[in-house]
Structure 1
Amino acid sequence: MWRYNLALTRRIFSSQPAALVRQYSAFRRLPRVATPVKDVSRLGFNGVPNMNNVTIQQYDPIATTILNEPTIIIERQIEMMNVVLGFEQANKYAIMDVMGNRIGYMQERDFGFFKAITRQIYRLHRPFTVDVFDNYGNVLMTIERPFSFINSHIKAILPDENRTLVGESVQNWHLWRRRYELFQRECENPSEFTQFGNIDAPFLSFEFPVMDENNKIIAGCDRNWVGIGRELFTDTGVYIVRFDSQQSFDGVYPQEMLSDKVLNYDQRAVMLSNAVSIDFDYFSRHSRYGGGLLSFGTYDE
């Protein structure tokens, strides 16, 4: 375990990008959005911007447990029935800090027999609800996605009595590029959303840098290679989610490519949700096509 964590830590702090990030087009916003991106240069607790117009505060459990980390690691757990029989199970993820210590976990809700059947029919198009837990089983946040035929639309929601929406990640379909637009909900105007970043990754990319309005990298989500056996027969990916442009990218990108802004807690919650969306949309090959070691299907994919 220690050897694995050490290797993973080296990857986090010393990896090199596959290619220089291209300059992306100016932000597009959903029709309802009319609020400019705010200045987040003033930093508060643990280097995170201290803004009044945010939903998640520094003392909230999701912030003190997970979102205050500059970098987190998400590992999707092995689904044995998926591996052996091709039966789509509810997804589970471990959340760790950069030293490999588990700081929480995520689990897709399993509503019994009917839900299990709909997972087999809709597979990666299915609607789902994923709860984010601390190590003691307390729900810190909920991630929801409605049925998705083409573009996924995923939401970060607090588990309070009002089910407060924090922000959204919206996939922007392209024939070969991997694109998302990331939005934070305005607290003062709950019907409005501000776009704080976009992802425009190349074909088959494992790296998903988030660009701010100045085409600078403000955050990112990278998928790690986990070995030939796990890659071929499972969907157990490992993802590095980088929240902090000032602390998470040492040795990864040149300093001039990095933003001078830092994500607030609402935006980090959206980034965490986006990592789940990336796993579903691009790295769940076995879940998409079914199969399994004991199935009688083809293995052409």
Structure 2
Amino acid sequence: MDLLRLRRSFVAYITDAMGNELYRVRRPFWWITSSIYVEIDGKEVGVVHRRWHLWRRIYDLYLGNEQFAVVENPGLWNWTFTLKDINGEVLAEIDRDWRGFGFEIQELEVARPLTLSERAVTLALAISLDNDYFSRHGGWGIPFIDVGE
């Protein structure tokens, strides 16, 4: 059944150029809302929780127990996911419509650069978004992440 296939668990291994594991992204099976975890050496360092909403796509991003960003996508045909801090300032943007570096160079005004750990959690969100929305709608592949620097 296709519906269950989209909710299946998976683990993605993020490696350096030599094949050494930097961290892993793990998403367990889910029914209504999903969570995706970032682990370094088997220890959870961050998580993305999807909040349930009938049509909007809302994600909360955490490092440990501290929330550092939220995504509140209006849904429907909007394929841009903007990460904002608790003050509403833009931190990064994930977009399905990326066509390549020559086409998409643009300035994104961000409040501050993301830390390495925040980037790892943001990549976990991008993997989750790709699995949930982009890949099943025509095989778009990993979406573009613009962090401003």
TM range (shorter): 0.7 to 0.9
Q: CA deviation at 1:121?
A: 8.0
Paired residue total: 133
The whole-number CA distance in structure 1 between the counterparts of 2:57 and 2:2 is 25
Is the counterpart of residue 154 in structure 1 residue 36 in structure 2? Answer: yes
Q: CA deviation at 1:283?
A: 1.7
Is the counterpart of residue 132 in structure 1 residue 49 in structure 2? Answer: no
Q: Match for 2:116 among 265, 268, 287?
A: 265
Q: List 4+ stretches of structure 1 deviating above 6 A.
A: none
Q: 1:275 to 1:121 in 2, by over 3 A?
A: closer
Partner of 1:144: 26
* TM-score normalized by the length of structure 1: 0.41
Q: Which runs of 5+ in 1 are unaligned?
A: 1-118, 186-192, 227-237, 239-247, 288-301
The whole-number CA distance in structure 1 between the counterparts of 2:3 and 2:79 is 28
Q: CA deviation at 1:216?
A: 1.0
SS of the equivalent of 1:171 reads strand
1:203-232 CA-to-partner distances (Å, cap 9, x unmatched) read 222111101111110122111255xxxxxx
The alignment's C-alpha RMSD in Å is 2.4
Percent of pairs with identical residues:
37
The whole-number CA distance in structure 2 between the counterparts of 1:142 and 1:201 is 26
Is the counterpart of residue 171 in structure 1 residue 50 in structure 2? Answer: yes
Q: Match for 2:69 among 197, 201, 205?
A: 197
SS of the equivalent of 2:96 reads strand
Q: CA deviation at 1:166?
A: 1.1
1:160-183 CA-to-partner distances (Å, cap 9, x unmatched) read 2xx121100011121111110000
SS of the equivalent of 1:283 reads helix
Partner of 2:127: 276
Q: 1:286 to 1:207 in 2, by over 3 A?
A: closer
Residue type of the alignment partner of 1:202: P
The whole-number CA distance in structure 2 between the counterparts of 1:183 and 1:277 is 15
SS of the equivalent of 1:284 reads helix
SS of the equivalent of 2:4 reads helix
The whole-number CA distance in structure 2 between the counterparts of 1:200 and 1:218 is 13
Q: Give the alignment of 1:1-301 within 5 angstroms.
A: 122-158=4-40, 160=41, 163-185=42-64, 193-203=65-75, 204-224=77-97, 250=107, 252=108, 255=109, 258-259=110-111, 261-285=112-136
Q: 1:210 to 1:286 in 2, by over 3 A?
A: closer
The whole-number CA distance in structure 2 between the counterparts of 1:180 and 1:205 is 15
